[in-house]
Structure 1
Amino acid sequence: MLVGVEYPELADRTGRFRFGAPHALTVGDDGARVAFLRSAGPRDPAAALWVLDVATGALSQVAAGPVPAYAGSANLDVLAWAHDGRLFSSVAGHIATAAEVLDPRPDPAGQHIGYVTPDGSLRVVSGSDDQLLAGEAGSGVSWGVPEPVAAEFGRDRGWWWSPDGSQILAVRSTGTALSLHLLDLHGGWVDVHWDRETYPYLVGVRWSGTGNALITVLRRTQQHGLVLSVDPRTGETQVHAELADARWVEPVPGTPRQLPDGRVLVGGELAHDGFDARCLFADGSLITPPGLYVRRVAGVLRRPTGGPELIIEGTDGEPSEQHVFAVRTALGGGTASARRLTTEPGWHTATLGGDVLILDLTVTRGAAKVCTLPSLAEPLVYHPEPVLERVTDRRLPTGVLYPTGHFDGTKLPVLLELGDGPGHQQVVSDPARWQEKQWWADAGFLVVTVDTRGTPGVAPSFEKVIYRRLADVALTDQIDALHALTGKHPDLDLTRVAVRGTGLGGWLAAAAVQRRGDLFRCGIARDPVTDWSDLPPAYAERYLGSRADNSDIYEHHRVDASAPTLLISPAGGLSEELTYVTRFV
C-alpha cells in the first residue's frame, strides 16, 4: 500500500542545498586569485561574485547579486559581467556602452572588454571607446553568437580572445551556414579556411599558448572529424589529428589543447588488442592508461618540481564514481600512467590555474591546503543510500532505493526512473542526484534506476552500441535489469511497475508503456519527445543516422503520446504524478 507523503519543496527539483553553494569556479593563470559565484543562502537564487586571494586566504565580494555569469582576464585581475543589459567590471564598476550587453569578456591582459549585442553584433570597449568590430544589423547574420547547433556539442560560446588580446576569433552564422573569422582591433580580418561543405559542424575552439588556435570540425554524419591548427595571420589551417568512428565521434571535453612541450592533446578511443577505452593522445602517442575512462581534461597544473601535470576527471573501473587524476606530460620512456588525487568514493571535480588546484571546493597550492570555499547551502533534504550493483551479462549499472524504514519481506510497487535519455548517467555516487528519487521511495515505491547501454562512463562500445537501434537496446536493458534485480531484491513486485522519464527519458517511458504494457502498468512522460524528426538534426543523427537514409528507423522510434496509461506531465507536478501512478499500481 502506498503511504501518504507531503510533497516537499525540493527547491526547483534539485534541492535548496543548491542555493548558497559556490559554483562557476575560475582560477587565474598565475594562481593568485579564485573567482566564483555564490548566493546569500539556501532560499536566495541571486548569486554574488566573490574572489579569493590565494596568498592570504581572504575572501572579498566583488559584486552583489544577481550576477548570472562572469568572465575574467587571464589572471582574474579584471572581471566583467552583465546585468539587465548593462556592463560592469571589477575595476571600473558600471561602464557605459553603445548597446545592450550580452556575454562580456575581458581580453587576457584586461585592457579591453568585448561583448555581443541582441542583434548579433560584436563590440569592444576600451576605456571610453565602444567600437563595432563586426555586425550586420537587420540582415539575420550573427557575429560572436553560438549558432543553435553549437549546444548539441556542448559549445556555449561564439567568440574567443587571442592570448595577446590583439585578435578575436568569431563565429559568423546565417541560420544553418557557419564561418569563422579572425578580427583584429584595427578593423582588419581574415577568414579561417577549411572545407565547410564537408565539415559543417564546429565542435570546439581553443587558443594555444603559441598564438595559434585549435579547432575541431565534424562531418554532417559525425563519423569523421579533424583537429586543425589555425594560422592567426592568414587563416590557413593545418591538420593535427583525424577523428573517426563507425558510429559517431565523441570528442573529450577540454580537448584539443596544446601541452607545454608543444604537442597537441586530443581525445580518442582505443578499440584494438582487447582494449575498449576512452583515452588521451599527444601527437598520436597514448598518455593515459587504457583502464582509465577519461571524462574531461581540466587543464595543466604547474608543479614546483617534477614538471607540469595534466589534470583530468575520469573513471577507473566503477562508473558510478568520478575521480580526479594527474597525468605526467613530459616526454620520456615508460607506459602511460595516472595518479589518482581523490580518495573518497563520490563524484569529484577539478578546477585549476597556475599552481593552484581546487578539488571539489578545497583549494590547494602545491602540497599545502589554502582553504575550503565556504558554502551557505542548506543540508540535503534526504540522506539516500541506494544499493548500487551491476547486473546481467552486460554488467548494467543499477541503483535500488528503498523507503525509509522499509522492512524486508514487504513487497512494494516498482518505479523505474529513466532520467533524461542517452548520454546522461543516473547511477552516480552523489547524494544530491538521489533526492527526488528518495521522495518517490518514501511515497511507497522501490525506485529502480538503470544506466542502459548508451550511457557514458563504462566503455565506448557500451556507449555506442545503440547506434540506429536505441529504442530496442534501451528497452531490452531496462527489462532485463528489472528481472535480474529480483534475485537480490525479492521485495520488487514486478506485477506493479510504473515507469517515469524526462525528455528522451519520457520518450522511452512512452515506448515502454506502448510496447511492453504487460510489464509496465503505467508511465509518466515529462516534456517528452515523441518524434525524433522534431529534434535538432545534429542530435538525432548522432544516434539514428541521417533521416534521409534511415526513415524506417525514425518511424520505428516514434511513440504515441495518447496511450491510455501514459501521463504527459509538464515540469513540476510531483503530487499530480503520484496521484496518477497510485491509480494503477
Structure 2
Amino acid sequence: MKKFLWLFLLSGAAATAQHNLTIEEATYGQYQQYAPKSLVSPQWRPDTHTLTYLDDTYQKLIGRSENGNWEEKTFLTKEDLGNALKVKYPNTKFALQIFPYGYSWKDKNTIVFEADSEDNSYAVLFDVGTKTVINAFAHVSDSQNYISPDGKNLAWLQENNIVITADAGKDIKVTNDADKGIVNGSDYVHRQEFGIDKGMWWSPDSKNLLYYRKAETMVADFPLVQWDTRIAEVKDIKYPMAGMKSEEVTLVVYNIATQQKTTLKTEGPKEQFLTCVTWSPDSKNVYVGVLNREQNHLKLNKYDAATGNFIRTLFEEESKTYVEPLHDLTFVPGHNDQFLYRSEKDGYEQLYLYNTDGKLLKNLGFGNVVIINLHSFDKDAKNVFYTGTANTGLDRQLYKVNLKTGKTTQITTTSGTHTDIVSSDGELAQDSFSNTTTPNDVSIITTKNGKATTLFKAENPFTGQTNLPKMELVSLTAADGKTPLNGRIIYPADFDASKKYPVMVYVYGGPHAQLVTNDWLGGARLFDYYMAQNGYVVFTLDNRGSDARGRDFEHVVHRRLGVNEMADQMKGIDFLKSKSFVDADRIGVYGWSFGGFMTTSLMLDHADTFKVGVAGGPVCDWKYYEVMYGERYMDMPQENPEGYAETNVIDKAPKLQGHLLVIHGAQDNVVVQQHSMEFIQACIANGKQVDYFLYPTHEHNVRGKDRYHLNKKIAEYFNTYLKK
C-alpha cells in the first residue's frame, strides 16, 4: 500500500514543455504522467452487467451499467467505507487514505477489502446495499490472509504459523511450530515455482482449511549480511542450491469443528513437488499434482480429505525434457465431475476437459494459441473464455471455446494486445486494447457477436511533452534457420540513416518472459526510449527459450541454458550489422537476472562484438542457483556436468575484453551474491578489470526511488565507454 501511495503522489508532478525525457521520467513516467488513460481495478459486479473501477483520484468506486447506457455514476466512496468502519469499530482509528484499489467482489452484494489501523490490518466484508460492515477480521499487517467462503472465518499467517480468526473475534492457533524451519500456510513453497501463489485453501463448504507444511530445517543456510547495525549482522535464509538437499513439503487438512489435522498421504520421495492443489466442489476430495524432483513426471492424484487416503491417479504426464504444471484445476459449474486442466503436453499450453475418473472428454486446444489467462464460463457453462496468443506470440486476443464440441471462436480480432475481463454470465467483456499506434482503447464487447461500445480512447500521453523516437517491430530467423523470432528496434532521436550510431541491446532471453509485444511502446520500457533519445539504436530480440511461443520454442534451453539463446541473439547482431547506420564497433548489451547471465555470457563468448556490458543480478554458475528453477532447465550438476561447465561464466573470465559493469543487490535472495563475487574473484585472478556496484539494501531488483539511481548509472556507463 505504501509503495502504491508513493507512486500515486509522484504522479501529480506538473507537466513541462516538450523536451527529451529526463532520467527520472524514463524511470517512473511510464507509470505516471506518461501512462495512457486506463481503468483502475476494473471488475464486473457478479450476476450483473455493472462494471466498477476507481476514479482518477482514488476516492470513489465508479459504476457503469448496461441499464444506465454505460454512463459513469458514483457507486461507493472512501467516506462510505470509513463511516461504516467507525460505526462498527468506534474505538479504532483506520488509515483509509484512498478507496482500496485491491477491493474484490465476493458476491453481488459484498465487496472485500483491506483496511489498516494503527495496530493491525483488517480484512473487511462490506455490504454495498446497506453500506455497512458485515465483518472485519483483525490480522497482522502485511500477512497473507484468506476469508472463508461463508465469510465467517479468516485464516492468516503469524510468522510461520496459521491463525484462524472467527467472526466472534476468537483466535484459533492452527499450528504452533516454534522452529522457524517449519513453515505453515505460506505461499513461499517450492520457491513459488509451478504457479504457486497461495499456501492455504478453504474448502468450498468452509468447514476445512487445507495448507502447505514446509519443512526446511535440513536445507542449507545462506548468509545475507545486514548493514544497518553498529556491527553488521547476518540474516540466514534457507536456499536449496541445485543438486543439494531441498525442502520437504506435505499438505494438511484442518477441520474447524474438531480441530483435528489430517495429512494427505502423498507417498513418494520426500523432495517431490506438490502442485495444482484443488478442492473438489463438494469438499470431499483434494486433487494434487505430484511432480518428481527430476520434474519430468507428473501424477494428478485424488485424495480423501477426511482420511488423507490416496484414492487414484487420474492421469500422468511425462516428458524427455520437463513437465511444468502452473495452474490449479478449474471445475465446470454445475458439473462436479468435470474440470479443466491446462498443459503444454501437445506443444502449446491449452485446455483439456477431464472427468474425475481421469477420462479425457475433450481436447479444447486451438491451433498454436497459447493460453495466457483463463476467464469465466458463460451462464450455462457451455463455453469458457480465455485470453490467448496470436500473430507469432505478439498479440493477445479473447477467445471462447465450446466444451461439448470443442469449437473455438475468436471474439476480438484487431491486431494488438487485448486485456479483457468477462462478466459472470459471459455475455459481456470489458476490453482494453493497445498496439504500437494505439495507447489504450477501452470498450464493452458483447461476446455473442463482438459488437463493441466504446467507453473512451486514450490520447497519446507524449503529445506536446516529448517526441518519442521511432520504434519498429521486426522479424528475424533463429539460428536453427527456420524459427521466426520477434524483435524490436528503437531508432535514435532525429535519426539520420547516413550516420553511424552506437547500439544498446537490451536482453532477457529466459523462460517465462517476453519483451517484444504488439502493444503501446512495443513492450519496451521508457528507459529504452530515453537511451534512443540520447543517440543509441536500442534493440531487443525474444530468442528461443522465451515465453508465449509454445513448448518446443522454450524447451531448446534444456540442459544448456544460454547456448541456443546466445546463438539467436547473434542473429540479431547480424541483423544490426547489416544496417548502414549501425556502428559495428560500438555495440553494448544490458540485462538483469537471466538477462544479466545473458549479458555476461555474450560479453565473454563474443568479446569481439560487445564492447560494453551491464549485467544486473547475473547468474554466473547454475550450480549456485536454486533447485526448482535450476534443475528444471539444467538437471542436477551431478547429472549434467558438461552442461554446467559449458554455461559457467566464472570459468570464462579470461575471455573478458570490453568494459563490464556487474550490479548486485546485497540482499538478493534469488540470485545470491555468491554468483557475482565468484566471477569478480575470477576476473582478479586472471588480471581482468571489471567494474562492480552493490545496492546494500536491495534484493533481486532495485525498486522505488533507488531505481532512478540505477538507471542513471547504467546510462552513464554506456555514455562513458560506448558513446563518442
Same fold (TM over 0.5): yes
Q: 1:374 to 1:182 in 2, by over 3 A?
A: farther
- Secondary structure of 1:468 counterpart: coil
Distance 1:131 1:455, change over 3 A: same
Query: Which letter maps to 2:414?
Result: E
Distance 2:274 2:455 in 1: 38
What is residue 23 of structure 2 aligned with on the other side?
7
Alignment of 1:335-374 (within 5 A): 336-352=406-422, 354-355=424-425, 357-360=429-432, 362=443
- Structure-2 residue corresponding to 1:280: 351
Change (3 A) 1:423 1:97: closer
- 1:217 maps onto 2:290 in alignment: yes
Residues 412 and 492 of structure 1 are in contact (CA less than 8 Å); yes or no, is this contact kept in structure 2?
A: yes
1:496-507 alignment runs, 5 A limit: 496-507=586-597
Q: Is the 8 Å Cα contact of residues 403 and 442 (structure 1) preserved in structure 2?
A: yes
1:73-472 correspondence to structure 2 within 5 Å:
73-75=106-108, 77-81=110-114, 83=116, 85-91=120-126, 92=133, 95=136, 97=138, 102-138=143-179, 140-175=181-216, 176-186=247-257, 187-197=259-269, 200-211=272-283, 212-237=285-310, 238-251=312-325, 253=327, 255-260=328-333, 261=335, 262-269=337-344, 271=346, 276-283=347-354, 284-303=360-379, 308-329=382-403, 331-332=404-405, 336-352=406-422, 354-355=424-425, 357-360=429-432, 362=443, 386-392=471-477, 393=481, 394-419=483-508, 421-432=510-521, 433-434=523-524, 435-472=526-563
Distance 1:101 1:135, change over 3 A: farther
SS in 1 for 2:413: coil
Which letter maps to 1:341? I
1:231 and 1:377 map into 2 onto residues whose CA distance is 56
SS in 2 for 1:322: strand
Please tell me whether residue 517 in structure 1 is matched to residue 607 in structure 2. yes
Is the contact made by 2:462 and 2:468 (CA closer than 8 Å) also made in structure 1? no
Quote the offset at 1:517 in angstroms. Answer: 0.8
1:25 to partner: Cα distance: 5.1
Distance in 1 (CA, whole Å) between partners of 2:413 and 2:370 is 17
Do the aligned partners of 1:509 and 1:524 also contact (CA within 8 Å) in 2?
yes
Give the letter for the 1:416 counterpart: V
**2:573 alignment partner, SS class:** helix
- Structure 1 residue 30 corresponds to structure 2 residue 47: yes
When Rg is computed on C-alpha atoms for both structures, the one with the higher figure is 2
Contact 2:342/2:351 (8 A) holds in 1 = yes
* Aligned-residue CA RMSD (Å): 3.5
Q: Which amino acid aligns with 2:608?
A: D
Q: Helix, strand or coil for the counterpart of 1:263?
A: strand
Distance 1:378 1:122 in 2: 47
**Given the two structures, how large is their TM-score scaled by the length of structure 2?**
0.70
Q: Deviations over 1:242-293 (max 9, x none)?
A: 222211113354x42222443232223355xxxx433322123553345232
Amino acid of the structure 2 residue aligned with 1:190? T
Distance in 1, Cα, partners of 2:527 & 2:23:
10
Q: Is the deviation greater in 434-443 or in 84-93?
A: 84-93
TM-score normalised per structure 1:
0.85
Partner-residue secondary structure (3-state), 1:463: helix
Residue 144 to residue 377, structure 1, CA distance change in 2 (3 Å): farther
1:510 Cα deviation from its structure 2 partner: 0.8
After superposition, the Cα gap between the structure-2 partners of 1:292 and 1:256, relative to the gap in structure 1 and judged at 3 Å, is farther
Counterpart Cα distance in 1 of 2:280 and 2:331: 6
Partners of 1:116 and 1:34 in 2: how far apart?
A: 33
How far is the alpha carbon of 1:509 from its aligned partner? 0.4
Q: Cα deviations across residues 540-575 of structure 1 (Å, max 9, x unaligned)? A: 111111122223422332224975611123543223
Structure 2 Cα separation of the partners of residues 97 and 121 of structure 1: 14
Q: How many correspondences in the alignment? A: 565
3-state SS, counterpart of residue 575 of structure 1:
helix
Residue equivalent to 1:44: none
CA contact (8 A) 1:20 1:39 kept: no
Contact conserved, 1:530 with 1:559, CA < 8 A, in 2?
yes
Cα pair distance change 1:70/1:244, threshold 3 Å: farther
Question: Is the Cα contact below 8 Å between 2:586 and 2:611 reproduced in 1?
Answer: yes
What is the one-letter code of the residue matched to 2:106? S
**Residue identity in the other structure for 1:267:** R
Equivalent position SS for 1:477:
helix
Aligned partners of 2:509 and 2:542 also within 8 Å: no
Q: Which moved more, 1:197-206 or 1:213-222?
A: 197-206
Q: Find the aligned partners of 1:4 and 1:173 in 2 and give their Cα distance.
A: 51
* Separation in structure 1 between the aligned mates of residue 183 and residue 499 of structure 2, nearest angstrom: 61
**Structure 2: segments with no counterpart, 5+ residues:** 1-18, 82-95, 127-132, 217-246, 355-359, 433-441, 665-701
| Residue 389 of structure 1, CA deviation | 2.6
Matched position secondary structure for 1:293? coil
Distance 2:378 2:170 in 1: 37
Secondary structure, in 3 states, of the residue corresponding to 1:499? strand
Compared CA separation, residues 137 and 158, structure 1 to 2 (3 A): same
Query: How far does the alpha carbon of each residue in 1:371-390 deviate from its partner, in whole angstroms, 9 at most, with x for none?
Result: 85999997697756532232
Quote the offset at 1:473 in angstroms. 0.9
